[in-house]
Amino acid sequence: MADQNNTDDKGKFYSEILSPSELFAARSRSHKIPVRGQKDFFPDDSDEQKQRLEQSLNEHWSLLSEERVERLGNLVNGQWIPSKQIVELQSPAGKFWQTMGFSANGKQCLLPEEALYLMECGNLQVFHQDLPLSIQDGYEKFLSANTVSLQQYQVFGHLKRLGYVVLRFDPSSESSSYARQLNLPQSRDRAGRQLKRKRSLSPAPSSTPTATCSRAEAQEECSTEKMEEDKCSEGEEDIKLPEPPEAQSSADEGGGRSWWMMDVLGDSDKDSGHGSKSGSSCWDFSSISFPDLGSTSREHFPSDLAPPDPSLLPGDLKVGFCDIAPWRQKINLRQVKMSANEQKREKYRRRWDVNKNREVRRCRNWAEYQELMARRKGKREGRPAHLWNREVTPLHDPTQPIATGELLEKISVIKPTHLLEGASRLKDADDWRICFNVYQPNTVADFKKSNPGKPYSRMCVCSFDDPVPDLRAIKLLAYQSGDIPVVIAVVDYGDISFYTFKDFQLPTDVYP
């Protein structure tokens, strides 16, 4: 050294080089760190505090100023290749080769962050143009935006010092989610969803053969199936609608039979509505006698039936008296024995007249009466027709069986989602990238660089100045990572904090 012999203050002032005697004496250095004592709460200018502070500071400086001294035999030599941004080893690698480094062109090489870490541990000496690099040179040459940033190296070093195996993340070497899918069993979620889809596609069995019901279902089906194949849906439509839409007939449809209408119009609220009509085709049932052959009461027990009016008979037909006795033999005339309840019920039943019902009297023809009957049935069974014959139908037919869980799913407004949903469609962004794969420390013994296996987690590095990752970024990271949790390491100058986002499903109160 030029200023070796001159005792210029300036030279020594800036040099931190150890003399050979100091180097030799370094063999017997202690390897223990002094324990830090308790801190004080408040400075009170006491001598005691000053002394303790001085002691702490001296300890601090002596630890920091200590230089790394190693036996030449323990050091592995490497060479920095700036063009490839790697360090090529000149001497055989040591124990670190098990978890670090790679082979290229028949030579053992190290990535820049690995080389810098080994330099800091005192295991590696890197040369550049035949001169040894200091740690400072290593930091300034190896860490850049192209290789590994300073923050990423901080995280790398922190994890390595804890004992983890840290390798760079290579997105292209990760198996696609489809490939992973083939090896993994189907999740319950997916199975459930598939089932659901199948249900909506298959024709729902309709127990009520009303035309309105089937038409509504056919509409549902058509809308889903039309997306698949048009032909198929058309065919289905034909099958599902055999009859013309006469079920939709409202009261406005003309051509209904008028004799009933007349009857309704004729009476107000009178019980007996059979007034005699003049000149109409209405029959007067009060004057037409229908003999009750089964009656047991004496007065209605004629022995024979009188012949009908000859004017009513066609042509020269002559009818004599009719003997009832053989007819009565053909009828079961046994008196039914009824209990008191039954007798009472029978009495009410005989009194009951369907025509007394107001709704029934409002019906002007059989079609309307049938509609009324259908409506009543629907209400009884919980499936009123007026709800089902429109575009918007109820979510679920109460007559159909369904599991509680599926019903809850049907009525839910917010569907549960998981982190990876929709993630494959996201385009890659520049700002959030996975840097490292981290493997557990206890696997170091049988760790193979060629086949590292599944990492413990994946690291993404950022700082507190950066924004918190939004849902899009988290989805992207989770998709890139697959089924391995992504940990975000936030670097705050000297401190590193680790955060991770976990998928969480809200519990449903249903046990299937």
Distance CA 302, CA 321 (A): 11
Among residues 25 and 333, whose Cβ is nearest to another protein?
A: 25
Q: 3-class SS at 302?
A: coil
Least spacing, CB of residue 466 vs another protein, in Å: 11
Distance CA 443, CA 447 (A): 6
Among residues 145 and 506, whose Cβ is nearest to another protein?
A: 145
Distance CA 82, CA 79 (A): 10
Least spacing, CB of residue 493 vs another protein, in Å: 4
Least spacing, CB of residue 52 vs another protein, in Å: 6
Least spacing, CB of residue 46 vs another protein, in Å: 12
Residue written as tokens 């998981």? 418
Among residues 17 and 313, whose Cβ is nearest to another protein?
A: 17
Least spacing, CB of residue 456 vs another protein, in Å: 18
Among residues 24 and 285, whose Cβ is nearest to another protein?
A: 24
Specify the DSSP class assigned to residue 198.
H
Least spacing, CB of residue 144 vs another protein, in Å: 6
Among residues 121 and 360, whose Cβ is nearest to another protein?
A: 121
Which string of DSSP letters, residue by residue, matches 156-192?
HHHHHHHT-EEEE--GGGSPPHHHHHHHSPPPHHHHH
376-411 burial: b if 16+ Cβ within 10 Å, else e: eebeeeebbbeebbeeeeeeebeeeeeeeeeeebee
Among residues 12 and 180, whose Cβ is nearest to another protein?
A: 12
Least spacing, CB of residue 502 vs another protein, in Å: 20
Q: 3-class SS at 230?
A: helix
Distance CA 405, CA 510 (A): 6
Q: 3-class SS at 217?
A: helix
| Residues β-bridged to residue 304 | 323
Cβ atoms within 10 A of the Cβ of 271, count? 8
Among residues 126 and 218, whose Cβ is nearest to another protein?
A: 126
Specify the DSSP class assigned to residue 82.
T
Which string of DSSP letters, residue by residue, matches 192-204?
HHHHHHHHHHSPP
Least spacing, CB of residue 223 vs another protein, in Å: 46
Least spacing, CB of residue 137 vs another protein, in Å: 6
Nearest Cα neighbor of 150 from 462, 429, 469 is: 462
Among residues 13 and 511, whose Cβ is nearest to another protein?
A: 13
Among residues 136 and 202, whose Cβ is nearest to another protein?
A: 136
Least spacing, CB of residue 141 vs another protein, in Å: 9
Alpha-carbon distances, residue 273 vs 18, 33, 445 (angstroms) = 129, 115, 103
Least spacing, CB of residue 472 vs another protein, in Å: 24
Distance CA 103, CA 73 (A): 23
Distance CA 274, CA 283 (A): 10
Among residues 112 and 378, whose Cβ is nearest to another protein?
A: 112
Alpha-carbon distances, residue 175 vs 12, 102, 172, 512 (angstroms) = 57, 21, 8, 35
Cβ atoms within 10 A of the Cβ of 18, count? 13
- Taking only Cα atoms into account, the Rg of the chain, rounded to an integer number of angstroms, comes to 49
Among residues 285 and 499, whose Cβ is nearest to another protein?
A: 499
